[in-house]
Amino acid sequence: MTTTPTDLETLCADYWSTSIIDIHPGSIKVRGYPIQELIGSVSFPQMIWLMLRGELPGHGEAALLEAALVASVDHGPHAPSIAISRIATSCGLPLNGAMASALNALDDVHGGAGQQAVELYAAIAERIDSGAALEAAVEAGVDAFIVTHGKYLPGFGHRFHPVDPRAGRLLALVDEQVKAGTISGRYAAIARGVEALLRQRKDKPVPMNIDGVTAVIYAELGFAPELARGIFCLARAVGILAHAWEQRGRHERNKGPMPRQIPYAYTGAPERHLDNE
């Protein structure tokens, strides 16, 4: 059977098929909306939602997403992602290279824990759906998580803050939207249950951190776990860019992780010599 030019065109069109954007000469439609109608009418968080979910969010949903984005932009030069951005810039990388290097550090332990936290909350929610009471579901879900992933629960604890100042404010906004009927509040209850269980089990409090609380928001808003990490990366990219830009203005070259006057501890063999006959 011969392949006609039309077959080939269809093949190529299907190869790059997308439901996100439709572009023709003089026309750009995002999820069906002409771009000129979106410009000036929707906020950036609404645009993120439209791109990822296909529909525009309600005002309460957009407000919560925006709050999560605002809370996540920066955590200072000691945050590995921000430090990497500054170090990379001082080594001569352009802004895009510095941003890419920094974003790569946002994995399970730093910044990316939101994905695992949404998964943990969802696993607990499944137990509740199967008839378990909240406390029992939290305990069983946490224990199952520890067996597979180890003792650190994603979204809880912080190296720096005894209490993460972002968590309380974001949870208050979540509670407001529960009252307004925007979201159900079930993931907020689950996360608070996990926090209470950790308080019971540990000598020191291990409170909800930014990843844990934004995971509540993403789960309440119906985002898939992987998108929790992706959206965090979008937000943190703002801080990463700001720090790369500030660093660019400093004209420092080859910035290491510490001022060079500060030594590190050498733990290897004492000085020794090759046996030369």
Ligand X SMILES: CC(C)(COP(=O)(O)OP(=O)(O)OC[C@H]1O[C@@H](n2cnc3c(N)ncnc32)[C@H](O)[C@@H]1OP(=O)(O)O)[C@@H](O)C(=O)NCCC(=O)NCCS
Dihedral in degrees, nearest 10, Cα atoms 219, 176, 42, 17: 10
- Asked if 206 touches ligand X (CB under 6 A), the answer is yes
- Compute, in degrees rounded to 10, the torsion defined by CA atoms 197, 200, 201, 205: 90
> Which stretch, 18-26, 118-126, 145-153, 251-259, contacts ligand X (CB under 6 A)?
145-153
| Minimum CB distance to ligand X smaller for 62 or for 79 | 79
Considering only 42, 210, 215, 244, the residue that binds ligand X (CB under 6 A) is 210
Q: Say whether residue 156 binds ligand X (CB under 6 A).
A: yes
Nearer to ligand X, 45 or 155 (CB): 155
Q: Which residue in 201, 186, 185, 184 sits closest to 142, CA to CA?
A: 201
23 scored as a contact of ligand X (CB under 6 A): no
At closest approach, how far in Å is the CB of 157 from ligand X?
2
Would you count residue 179 as binding ligand X (CB under 6 A)?
no
d(CA 188, CA 192): 6
How is residue 178 annotated by DSSP? H
User: For residues 45 and 60, is the Cβ–Cβ distance under 8 A?
Assistant: no
Does residue 99 bind ligand X (CB under 6 A)?
Answer: no
Which of 45, 102, 46, 122 shows the shortest CA–CA distance to 237? 102
Q: CA 211, CA 154: separation in Å to the nearest integer?
A: 8
Helices (H) and strands (E) counted in the chain, each on its own, are 12, 3
For position 154 contacting ligand X by CB under 6 A, the verdict is yes
* Candidate residues 158, 192, 248, 255; the one interacting with ligand X per rule CB under 6 A: 158
**Could you tell me the sign of the dihedral formed by the alpha carbons of 96, 97, 98, 100, in that order?**
positive
Residues in the chain: 277
Q: Is 153 in the site for ligand X (CB under 6 A)?
A: yes
Q: Does 235 bind ligand X (CB under 6 A)?
A: no
Instruction: For residue 12, state whether it binds ligand X (rule: CB under 6 A).
Output: no
Number of amino acids touching ligand X (CB under 6 A): 17
Q: Residue 35: what residue type?
A: I
The nearer residue to ligand X, 47 or 122, going by C-beta atoms, is 122
The residue range among 94-102, 149-157, 182-190, 216-224 that interacts with ligand X, by the rule CB under 6 A, is: 149-157
User: Is 121 among the residues that bind ligand X (CB under 6 A)?
Assistant: no
CB of 110 to ligand X, least distance (A): 6
For β-strands 21-24 and 27-30, DSSP reports them as antiparallel
With binding defined as CB under 6 A, does residue 157 bind ligand X? yes
Q: Which residues bind ligand X (CB under 6 A)?
A: 109, 113, 151-159, 198, 202, 206, 209-211
